[in-house]
Amino acid sequence: MANVRAARVIFALYALHLGATPVAVGALAATFSAFPMVLSWPVGRWSDRYGARWLLVIGALCGVFGMLLPYWVEGIPTLFVAAGLIGLSFTFYTVTLQNLVGVLSEAGNRSNNFSTFSLMLALAGFIGPVLGGFAIDHAGYALASLYLSSLCFLPLALLLLWGGRLPKGEHKEAHGGGLRGALGVPGLWRVLAISSLVVTGIDVFQFYLPIYGHDIGLSASAIGLILSMFSVAAFVVRAVMPRLLERFSESRILITAFYVGAASFLLVPFFPNPWVLGLLSFTFGMGMGCSQPITMMMTFSNSAEGRSGEALGLRLTVNHLTRVVCPLLFGVVGSLFGLFAVFWVNALMLGSGGLLTRFEGSELARPSDRKSKEGGTEPPKPDAPKE
């Protein structure tokens, strides 16, 4: 995942270095999401049926070749092909790992395990942009891609050596019902809609902030550090998220996250100072950093029995559909009205996400309440006496 985060920074700045327009950069951002949009649902079904090991191996290999391509061949078309491979790597890794965390968990520790998983994603989000920015400044774009490809070799080696310890999957025919059956669970559609708004806001922030930093003359290292502040904040807020979930409902946390994210988006174009931008990135991370693990847990808990990977894959499919459409749309908006408009439109979008969550919050299931994956759907139990 650090490799994926680094690739987004390196490829965006490399494209600008090669003379790409805002529309082309927006199309490049959309390319990262093309394969996740198409394949996330099938990969989720495969993870339910076959287990995690070889899906993760394929993801690691795609990550290696995706980062090596810009080193081998210079050019904007190469960046599009490489972005597609990185998106493929992201598809296999994200869907499979999310489902693996849920499968290895029980109802009592699922929130903590997803929080720990999210902490590692936040750490990767910090490492990736920082390494990418410093590698560009000290070695150039092509060598930066070569160096960052090494990030995928370690998980590849671990999977080949010890991947056999992972759950094997159910090894039976795919569950019936198809897409309609997966969507038939009450509340799942609302979770998917809210999740798509969260990831769209985060992705647009992480992809267009480097463009804004480039326009105001910031170095690649400074841009990487500013982006990393989001992950630092996400790490902090995810570390305390189990306690937050004990005190507040998921909908309350999501509403606050949306409004904090909208305010951060709104303020970015007013400040060219890198220190202020770093503070805004940190604030944005504090708001939105807890949103992804919450929607992840809610999707797992709202899935049909035995179809958790499929539901998580469907979540990523919906997320990446918006990731394909929105960068293209915002690229046009940026070309016509400037980057200010891109940030303001996204602030409006996140604000609407807060309103949607407020209206629907009472119907969303709590992650720990819906079911236990090991024991199926649990019947209601009488209140036990307190010890």
Distance (Å, rounded) from C-alpha 355 to C-alpha 341? 21
> Which residue, 18, 25, 28, is CA-closest to 212?
25
**What does the pLDDT read at residue 306?**
61
Which of 138-147, 177-186, 197-206, 222-231 is least confident?
177-186
- Buried/exposed code over 197-216 (b: 16+ C-beta within 10 A; e: otherwise): bbbbbbbbbbbbbbbbbbee
- Residue 357, domain member (yes or no): yes
Tens of pLDDT, residue by residue over 368-377, are 444 444 444 4
User: What residues have CB less than 8 Å from 267, skipping those under 6 apart?
Assistant: 280
How many domains does the structure of the chain reveal?
Answer: 1
**What does the pLDDT read at residue 228?**
82
133 or 26, which is more confident? 133
Neighbours of 384 (CB within 10 A): 6
- Residue 166, domain member (yes or no): no
Name the percent of the chain lying above pLDDT 70.
Answer: 83
333 or 89, which is more confident? 89
Average pLDDT value for residue range 45-68: 87
**What does the pLDDT read at residue 86?**
94
3-state helix, strand, coil split of the chain in percent (to 5) is 80, 0, 20
8 A C-beta contact, residue 209 and residue 96? no
Name the percent of the chain lying above pLDDT 90.
Answer: 11
User: What residues have CB less than 8 Å from 100, skipping those under 6 apart?
Assistant: 47, 52, 166, 167
Residue type, 1: M
- Residue 340, domain member (yes or no): yes
Burial of 162 (0-12, 13-18, 19+ CB in 10 A): exposed
Q: What is the CATH number of the domain that holds 329?
A: 1.20.1250.20
The pair of three-digit structure tokens given for residue 259, joined into one six-digit string:
């409004």
Q: Model-level pTM greater than 0.85?
A: no
- Residue 179, domain member (yes or no): no
pLDDT-derived band of residue 360, with 50, 70 and 90 as boundaries? low
Distance (Å, rounded) from C-alpha 173 to C-alpha 184? 20
- On the question of pLDDT at 4 being above 80, the answer is yes
Average pLDDT value for residue range 1-5: 88
- On the question of pLDDT at 18 being above 50, the answer is yes
- Residue 289, domain member (yes or no): yes
15 or 122, which is more confident? 15
**What does the pLDDT read at residue 14?**
92
pLDDT-derived band of residue 64, with 50, 70 and 90 as boundaries? very high
**What does the pLDDT read at residue 377?**
41
386 or 52, which is more confident? 52
Distance (Å, rounded) from C-alpha 276 to C-alpha 366? 36
Residue showing tokens 């992972």: 166
184 or 189, which is more confident? 189
Q: Show the domain range for 223.
A: 2-161+187-363
- On the question of pLDDT at 11 being above 80, the answer is yes
- Residue 170, domain member (yes or no): no
Tens of pLDDT, residue by residue over 84-120, are 999 999 889 888 888 888 788 777 777 778 778 878 8
Query: What is the C-alpha end-to-end distance of the chain, expressed in Å?
Result: 44
Mean pLDDT score of the chain: 78
pLDDT-derived band of residue 81, with 50, 70 and 90 as boundaries? very high
Tens of pLDDT, residue by residue over 252-292, are 888 888 888 888 888 888 888 889 999 999 988 888 877 77
Distance (Å, rounded) from C-alpha 360 to C-alpha 200? 19
**What does the pLDDT read at residue 186?**
54
